[in-house]
Amino acid sequence: MAAGVFRFQRFRTRLLVLMLGLLGLTQAVTYLIVTRANRTTAVTAINAALARGVQQFEAISARREADLLLAARLMAADYAMRQLFLIDEFSPATARSALESYQDRIQRLQMPVIVLLSPEGALLADTRGRTTPEQRSAFEVLRQRADESDLQEATGYGFLNGTFSQLVMVPLLAPPPEVVAWVGLAFSIDEATARELKQDSALEVSFLGGGAEPRLIASTLPPALAAQLLRAGPDSAAAGRALDLDGEPYLSTFRRLPTAGGEPVWIVLQRSLAAELAPARALENIILAVTLASLAAAALAALGMARGISRPVQQLAAHTAVIARGDYATRLQLDRTDELGQLAKGFNRMSEGLAERDRVRDLLDKNVSPAVAAQLMRDGSALGGEEREVTVLFADLRGFTTLSETLPPREVVALLNRYLDRMSAAIEAQGGVIDKFIGDEIMALFGAPVAQPDSADRALAAALAMRDALAALNTEFAAEGRPPLAFGIGLNTARVIAGNIGSHRRLNYSVIGDGVNIAARLQTLTRDPAHGTDIILSAATLQAAARPWSTRPLGTVVVKGRTGTLAIHALDGPIGRTRDFTHGG
C-alpha cells in the first residue's frame, strides 16, 4: 500500500508532480551551473587581469628603463662630463657638482642617485655624497654586466640605501675612444610606483624582498593584509592561486625581478575573488527568488492544464499516425486557441509542407538533372563551390532563328522540344549533366557534380551520339516534309569552379571559369566552313581522353578573350569498339 501512494493514479496529480519536479530540478541545476559559471568567469577574468597587470608593469618598467638609458646616454655624451676626464687631475667635487646639476635638469625621472664609477668599478662621485656597500654592490654588478656586453650597457633592479630601484649603467667614452668612466642612474620603486600600477590595472600591487629577513618594500593592501601576504611569502607563488588574506580569497601572481646583487625581490599582483563575484552573487539571489516564484506558478498552472489536456493530446497522437501513413490531405480539427490549438495548426501546416515538399521534389527532378537534384537534396543550397576538372559541352542549333520566322510559335516550341529531348537523352546516356538550356543552345557538364575520371571520353561519346541522334531526327523531319536541322558542338576540358551560383533567393548549379568560355568559343568556330566539321574539341580534351578517337587537327586559332593561341581538332568518330559509359564499360 505504501508503494501505491507514489503511483499517482490521477493524471492531474502526476502532471503536478512531474512539472514541479522537472522545474525544481531544472532550476536547481541552472542555479548550480550559473554559480559555477560565475566563479569560472570571475577566475578567468582575474587571471586575465593578472596577466595584463604583469604586462603593464613590464611596459612601465620598459618605458622607465628607456628614459633612464636615454638620460644616461645624454649625460655620458655631454661635453662637460667628458671634460672632467680630459683634464690632468680628476676632481670628485667638480664631478659631484656636475651630477647634481644634471639631476636638476631631469627631475621628471625622480632619480634618487646618479653615480660615476671608474673603469675598474671604484666610486668616483655620486649625488648623495656618500658611498655604501649596498650601493657599490648593485652598481658594481651592473658595471660588470655592461663591461661584458657587446653594447656596453646593462639594466636591472637593486637596492640603494634600503630603497628598491630600477638601475641602468652606460659607459662614458673619451678619445681614442675608450671607457674612462661608467654612468649609473636609478629610479625608486616605492609606494608611489605600486599605486600607479594599481590605478592602471585595478589590481592590488605589492613588492616583497626575499632575503634572510623577508620584508615588505611597498604595497597597496591594507597593512594587516600586507602583513599576512608577507608571512605567506614567495613560497606561495603560483599564477592564479587563491591566498586567504583575513579569510578572503585573493587570486595572486608572483613574478621575480632580476636584481643586481643583494636579496631577491618579487612583484605580487592580486585581486579579491569575493569582490569580483559581488555582482554575480546579486544575480544568483535573483535566480533563487525567481525559482521559488516559478514553482508556485507552475503548481497553479499544472492544476489548470490537467483538466483539459488529455483528450487533445490523444487527438494529436492519433493524427501523427495519419501523417505517418502519407495522408497529407486530412486535417486535424481542434477548436482551441491555446498552445494545443497552435500545435494542431502546426500539424496542419506540416501536412501542407510535406505535400509541398513532394511537389517540389517532383518539379526539381523535372527541372534539373537527377545528379544535381541529388546533390541539392543531400548538401543543401548554400552558395559556393569547389574546384574540379570537368569537360564542358556547348551545342548550338544552326538556322533556328530563320526556321522560327517561317513557323507558328506553337510548332516552333514543339520542334525545339523534340530536338532538345533527343540531345538530352544522348548526353545523359553518357553520364552528362544538362547545366542549362539557353534558347536553342545546350550547355552540358561531364565530371560535375559527380566526379568522373573519364569525363573527356564521356563527352566525346556524347557528342557523337548527338550527331547520330540529329541524323535520326532529320530522317523523321524529312518524312514529315520539314527541313533538316544542323548544329555545332564545342568541347573543352579544364579546371573550373563548380557549385551553387546566384543569390540567396535563387540558385543555379553551374560552373564558371575560362574553360567554360573556351568551350563556347569552340562551338562558334564550327560555323566556319573552312573547318568542315560540326564538332570541334580543344587539345586539352583530346589529351584528357583515355581511349583513342578519330580526330583531325585544325591548327591553332586565337580565341576571343584570350591572348594566346589554342590548338583545336575536329572529331570524326571513335577508334575501335564504341564504349558504353552508362555502365562503366
CA separation for the pair 389, 517 (Å, rounded): 15
Inside any domain, residue 125? yes
Strand (E) or helix (H) holding 484 = none
Identify the three-state secondary structure at position 410. Answer: helix
In the block, residue with C-alpha cell 493530446: 313
Domain identity same for 423 and 565: yes
Long-range Cβ contact pairs of 478-485 (< 8 A, separation 24 or more): 482/415, 483/403, 485/397, 485/398, 485/399, 485/400, 485/403, 485/419
Res 421: pLDDT: 94
> Is 281 domain-assigned?
yes
Whether pLDDT at 468 is above 60: yes
Q: Are residues 249 and 390 in the same domain?
A: no
Report which of 183, 358, 203 is spatially closest to residue 270, judged by C-alpha positions: 203
Q: Please state the rounded mean pLDDT for residues 129-139.
A: 63
**% helix, strand, coil for the chain, step of 5:** 50, 25, 25
Burial string for 392-414 (b: 16+ CB within 10 Å, else e) reads bbbbbbeebeebbeeeeeeebee
pLDDT tens-digit map of 34-51: 888 888 888 888 889 999
CB atoms near residue 570 (< 10 Å): 18
Q: Are 11 and 283 in contact (CB under 8 A)?
A: no
Of the candidates 205, 204, 223, 207, the one whose C-alpha atom is nearest the C-alpha of residue 215 is: 207
Do 67 and 168 touch, CB atoms closer than 8 A?
no
Mean residue pLDDT of the chain comes to 81
Task: Please report, for the domain that includes residue 89, its CATH number.
Answer: 3.30.450.20
Distance of CA 124 to the CA centre of its chain: 61
pLDDT of 212-254, one tens digit each? 778 888 999 999 998 888 888 776 655 456 788 888 889 988 8
Whether 219 and 194 have beta carbons less than 8 Å apart is answered as yes
At 539 the three-state DSSP class reads: helix
Residues 468 and 522 in one domain: yes
- The reply to whether 3 falls in a domain is no
Q: Do the domain assignments include residue 373?
A: no
Final residue in a domain of this structure, among 226, 258, 273: 273
Confidence of residue 382 (pLDDT cuts 50, 70, 90): very low
Tell me: pLDDT of 528 over 60.
yes
Q: Say how many domains are in the chain.
A: 4
Beta strands in 57-111 (DSSP E): none
Residue 583 has pLDDT above 50, yes or no: no
Q: Are residues 61 and 152 both part of a single domain? A: yes
Residue 372 lies in a domain: no
Residue 117, SS3 per DSSP: strand
Q: Does 150 lie in the same domain as 74?
A: yes
Evaluate whether residue 61 is within a structural domain: yes
Q: SS3 of 376, please?
A: helix
CATH number at residue 465: 3.30.70.1230
Task: Round to whole Å and give the CA distance between 267 and 446.
Answer: 70
Q: What is the pLDDT of residues 320-344, one digit of tens each?
A: 877 777 776 777 777 777 666 677 7
**Which candidate, 573, 561, 518, places its Cα nearest to that of 540?**
518
290 and 416 inside one domain: no
Cα distance between residue 97 and residue 114, in whole Å: 11
Q: Report the CATH number that the domain containing residue 346 is assigned in CATH.
A: 1.10.8
State whether 145 and 38 are in the same domain: yes
Helix, strand or coil, per DSSP, at residue 512: strand
pLDDT of residue 5: 44
Domain membership of residue 376 (yes or no) is no
* Claim to verify: residue 323 and residue 285 sit in the same structural domain: no
Model confidence band, residue 376 (pLDDT cutoffs 50, 70, 90):
low
Decide: helix, strand or coil at residue 332. Answer: coil
Residue 553, classed as helix, strand or coil, is strand
406 and 334 in a common domain = no
In the structure, what pLDDT confidence band is assigned to residue 454 with cuts at 50, 70 and 90? very high
pLDDT-based confidence at residue 364 (cuts at 50, 70, 90): very low
Q: Is 536:569 a contact under the CB 8 Å cutoff? A: yes
* Length of the chain measured in residues: 585
Contacts of 210 (CB under 8 A, 6+ apart): 233, 234, 263, 264, 265, 266
Output the pLDDT for position 476: 94
Mean pLDDT of all residues in 295-317:
68
Closest to 445 in 3D by CA, of 393, 406, 493: 393
Which structural domain, as residue segments, surrounds residue 498?
Answer: 381-583
**Does 262 share its domain with 314?**
no
How would you classify the pairing of strands 486-502 and 535-538?
A: parallel
- How sure is the predictor about 381, in pLDDT bands with cuts at 50, 70 and 90? very low
374 falls within a domain:
no
Q: What local confidence, expressed as pLDDT, does residue 4 receive?
A: 47
Same-domain pairing of 396 and 326: no
pLDDT band with cut points at 50, 70 and 90 for residue 540: very high
Phi, psi (5° rounding) for residue 258? Answer: -75, 105
- 400 in Cβ contact with 484 (< 8 Å): no
* C-beta neighbour count of 337 within 10 angstroms: 7
Rounded to whole angstroms, the Cα distance separating 75 from 127 reads 14
Q: Are residues 99 and 189 in the same domain?
A: yes
Cα–Cα distance measured from residue 585 to residue 260, given in angstroms and rounded to the nearest whole number: 84
Exposed, middle or buried, 345 (CB in 10 Å: 0-12/13-18/19+)? middle
